[in-house]
Every structure is written in C-alpha cells, then in structure tokens.
Amino acid sequence: MSRYEDQSASALWPDAALRSMTGASEKASVRKLRNHSLRYALNNELHARPFMPLRSPERIAHLAIPRDEQGVADDHAVLVALCERYGVTAPQPGVNHFSHDFGRFRLKWERHTEFVSYSFFERGALNGLFDAPALGRVAADWLDELPGDVIVAVHLVLLPPDTPPPGAEELAHHFAGGALIGSAVSGGAASVFTDYRIDPDGFSRLLIHDNSLGEHQAGLVAQRLLEVVTYGTMALLALPTAREIGLEIARCERELADATAAMAEPGSNDEERGLLNQLLQLASSIERLLATTSYRFRAAQAYHALVQTRIQELREERIDGLQTLAEFMERRLSPAMRTCSAVHERLENVSQRLARASNLLRTRVDIAVQRHSRDVLRSMNRRAKLQLALNELVEGLSVFAITYYALGIIAYPLAALGPVLGIAPSQVTGAAAPVVFAAAWLGLRRLRKKKLLRHRGPDPSQ
C-alpha cells in the first residue's frame, strides 16, 4: 500500500472500526498458527505446584510419603478415594498437582519424583496453637490406608497480626525439644519459629506470626518453610548410605593398594593372571556400589540446592538470641551433605584408580605376550632356516642319486651294443657322467624356481 492509500484509509475509517478490523486480522492469524505438540504442556510447567493463598489464623498439616515409579496408580487411587468420600470430583490420572476445598479442610496434593505430599489447611480461630491440628479434620480410616511410610510430618500454625507475638515462655512451652530456631522473614512481614524436632505425636512444629503478610505472600512463606523441611529430610536419606559403604570402600582401597604394589614386582604368568582376576573382582564391587548409590548421592545434592534456594527466598533477618534457619542448616545439614559428597568422590576416585591399575596390568600382560610371540617367531625362523638347509642338502644328494641311476640305465644298453659298435661301455658312461649330472642339477633348480614362483604369486612388475 502506498503512503497516499494509507492516509486515505485512516481518513475514511473511524478508529473503532480500524481497531476491530485489526483485531479480526490478528485473530485470523492466530487461528492459522500451528502449535507445537508440547507447547501447552511446557507452559503449564511454569505454573505447576502453585502455593495456596493463606489468611491467618490458619492451621496446616503436611505429610510426605516416599514412593517409587511403580506406585503412580496407588497414589492416584488414594487421592480418588479421599475425593469420593467427600463428594469432590477427582483429578484425571497422570496429574502431579491437585488442590481443592473439601469443606472441612482444603487439600493441596503434589506428586514428586520420590515422594507424594499431602497438605491439609484449616482456617479458623485458634484454641491452643497445636492442640487441634488440621489433620484432625480428615477421616482417620482414610489416613490409615495411606500407602508407604511417612518420612515428613509437620504441624504449621499461622498467627494473625492482631495476636501478640509469642514470648520466650510461650515458645519454650510449644518447643520444648531443644534449641529454638527463628528469624524475621520477607522483610519483617512475618516471624517464624521452629526447633526441627519430632514431638511425641510424631510431628514437627512450625509457627509463623503474621505481621503484615498478604494472602499470597503468606502462602508462599508457608510453602517455602515446608519445602525446607521436606527437601532437607530427603537430602539426608543419602547419609546412612554414605556411612554404610564407607567400610567397603576402605576394603577396596586396601586391596587395590596391595594389587598395585604386587604389580611393581616381576611375576610369572600365573601371578599376573591372579592379579588380573583380583582387579576384575574389585571393579565389579566398585561398579555395584556406584550403580546402587550414584542416584541417591546426586539426588541429595539436588535437594540440598533446593533447601539453600528456599532459605534464600525467605530473606531472613536475625532475631536476637536465636539462630536463623540458614545458620541451622549450615551447621547441621551442610556437613552431612559434604560427607555424602566426599564419599561419592572417594568412590569415583577408587574407580578411576582401579581403571588405571587395570590398564597398567593389561599393558604388562600385552608386553609379556608380545615378548613370547617374538621368541616363538625367532624359533620358527631358526626352524625354517634349518629346514631350508636340509632341503638344499637333500637336493644335492638327489642330484647324485639321479645321476647314479641315470648312468646305470645308460650302462645297460651300452653293455649290449658295445661289442657291436666297437666302443667300450665304461668310456661312454664316464663321458656321459658330467652331462647327466649337469642336466639333473639344472632340472632340479628349475623345478625349485617354479615352486617359489607358485608360492610368491605373479610378479606385479610384469
């Protein structure tokens, strides 16, 4: 379109009409787009696992249950049973996140790679902070049918702003297990308190005092605190494994050191074969340990990174006299993770050293085999030379034998014809002896040349 035509269209058509036409053309262009098969699935991943908006006062009961890939159907069946009990439409199979208001409580269900989490929310007046947990609103017989063993169980209470901040005596009453942990979070909008211990009822306790949190901010803070507990516990699953395999790694290191020392000394073929078998057994043990523990150690590193990220997102500020969540995790969780990382690195180091030792021994065996092959070739060369000399000797003797028998054959007719012809047979035989000898020698030589040419093949220059 020319500049004049563009200006004419602007003058003829009102702005509203132009906008409607533009919108219609845009919709038409969108309808023509072909979406990638994963476009919506990938976009939904950006909004997966949203936090639940909270308005204080609020009680939360959080459960995390380990699972495996074969338990996907069981996880969904348990959720469907809960929805059917309270008349709620159950989610479709294959979903990893579900949240709904069940009337008596609100549920947030999430399925992770290694665990399933159930968070139950109850809003209302607090008659004692932890005396009436939100889990009490859930049917007891359904809780008894949960598959697997609970690895994380937390009671969280969100206090409203009009409630006085809990004092030292009240906190000591609710957290009587040990040293108290607390800090101001979200720029002072809330204060959180916990001791990260399991009470006699089997639950840990988290207390949030809402100073000026919004609903979304309160839900985000609560979710981060619960994730710190859950991910931290899942990360610690690698610590018992690290302790268990430490002794076996030490045994493999000692055996590898002994085998390496034995390699420095010259030995027979049987000794080298025994060393090779020993290294193969060590390699089998190390690979078995790597196969059974690598995933657990890698998962622990990922969980630890998530814990550190969630703590940073809380934006903690110190409360006098209390250690912060970051300090507690740095003192308790980080050493355990460093132990797991050290054991994993030690295991990989042993595997690399074993590979180098195996290569050295294999090189040593290859050199011995090559030396033996060289000796065999030398022996075969000597035998070939002896065979050639013997053949030449036999050929020389054959010349004399052929000459002798040929002269004997000539002598018979000469003996019969000698008196008739008037010649002496011995003179003729003596004169023919050099000729017969030369003919036999030349014939054998030509025959040997033909054999050599037959073995070597045709001459490529010809």
DSSP string covering 116-136, please?
A: EEEEEEEES--SSTTTS-GGG
- What is the tens place of the pLDDT at every residue in 227-286? 999 999 999 999 999 999 988 888 888 888 888 787 767 666 666 777 778 888 888 888
Confidence class for position 148, pLDDT limits 50, 70, 90: confident
Percent of the chain with pLDDT over 90: 36
| pLDDT for the residue 173 | 84
In a domain, 26, yes or no: no
**Residue 121 near residue 52, CB atoms below 8 Å:** yes
DSSP string covering 395-453, please?
A: HHHHHHHHHHHHHHHHHHHHHHHHHHHT--HHHHHHHHHHHHHHHHHHHHHHHHHHHHH
Handedness of CA 282, 285, 288, 294 (dihedral sign): negative
In a domain, 8, yes or no: no
* Residues 78 and 227 grouped into a single domain: yes
AA identity, residue 23: G
Instruction: Please determine, for residue 7, whether its predicted confidence score (pLDDT) is greater than 60.
Output: no
* Residues 98 and 204 grouped into a single domain: yes
* Residues 248 and 341 grouped into a single domain: yes
* Residues 359 and 445 grouped into a single domain: no
* Residues 347 and 326 grouped into a single domain: yes
Where is pLDDT greater, at 440 or 163?
163
The DSSP code for 56 is S
- What is the tens place of the pLDDT at every residue in 76-108? 889 999 999 999 999 988 888 899 999 889 999
Q: What are phi and psi of 158, to 5 degrees?
A: -110, 110
In a domain, 245, yes or no: yes
**Residue 232 near residue 303, CB atoms below 8 Å:** yes
Last residue of a domain, which of 234, 251, 286?
234
| pLDDT for the residue 6 | 44
* Residues 229 and 328 grouped into a single domain: no
Instruction: Please determine, for residue 365, whether its predicted confidence score (pLDDT) is greater than 80.
Output: no
Instruction: Please determine, for residue 73, whether its predicted confidence score (pLDDT) is greater than 60.
Output: yes
Q: What are phi and psi of 100, to 5 degrees?
A: -165, 155
| pLDDT for the residue 182 | 93
| pLDDT for the residue 1 | 42
What's the mean per-residue pLDDT of the chain?
82
Alpha helices in 55-98 (DSSP H): 72-85
Confidence class for position 4, pLDDT limits 50, 70, 90: very low
- What is the tens place of the pLDDT at every residue in 291-349? 899 999 999 999 999 999 999 999 999 999 899 999 999 999 999 999 999 999 999 98
The first and second tokens of residue 84, run together, are 């059917």
| pLDDT for the residue 382 | 85
Greatest mean pLDDT among 15-19, 205-209, 268-272: 205-209
- Calculate the CA dihedral of residues 36, 42, 46, 47 and round it to 10 degrees: 90
**Residue 129 near residue 208, CB atoms below 8 Å:** no
Q: Residue holding tokens 């004997």? A: 408
Total residues found in the chain within this entry: 462
Where is pLDDT greater, at 82 or 419?
82
Confidence class for position 461, pLDDT limits 50, 70, 90: low
Average pLDDT, stretch 140-152? 89
Tell me the residue range of the domain where 58 lies.
52-234
Last residue of a domain, which of 187, 219, 234?
234
Residues with Cβ within 8 Å of residue 279, at least 6 apart in sequence:
256, 259, 354, 357, 358, 361
Average pLDDT, stretch 135-141? 89
Percent of the chain with pLDDT over 70: 84
**At 372, is the secondary structure helix, strand, or coil?**
helix
By C-alpha distance, which of 440, 410, 436 is closest to 423? 410
In a domain, 311, yes or no: yes
| pLDDT for the residue 10 | 42
| pLDDT for the residue 338 | 95
In a domain, 263, yes or no: yes
The DSSP code for 71 is G
In a domain, 345, yes or no: yes
The span from the first CA to the last CA of the chain, in angstroms, equals 81
| pLDDT for the residue 44 | 76
* Residues 219 and 291 grouped into a single domain: no
In a domain, 397, yes or no: yes
* Residues 188 and 95 grouped into a single domain: yes
* Residues 369 and 431 grouped into a single domain: no
In a domain, 178, yes or no: yes
Confidence class for position 11, pLDDT limits 50, 70, 90: very low
* Residues 210 and 99 grouped into a single domain: yes
* Residues 365 and 424 grouped into a single domain: no
The DSSP code for 163 is S
Alpha helices in 315-324 (DSSP H): none
Q: What is the pTM of this model?
A: 0.73
Last residue of a domain, which of 175, 204, 234?
234
| pLDDT for the residue 401 | 77
* Residues 265 and 344 grouped into a single domain: yes
Measured from the Cβ of residue 287, the count of other Cβ atoms closer than 10 Å reads: 12
| pLDDT for the residue 71 | 60
- Lowest mean pLDDT, pick from 5-9, 198-202, 246-250: 5-9
Measured from the Cβ of residue 164, the count of other Cβ atoms closer than 10 Å reads: 8
| pLDDT for the residue 177 | 64
| pLDDT for the residue 74 | 81
- Number of domains present in the structure of the chain: 3
By C-alpha distance, which of 53, 101, 100 is closest to 221? 53
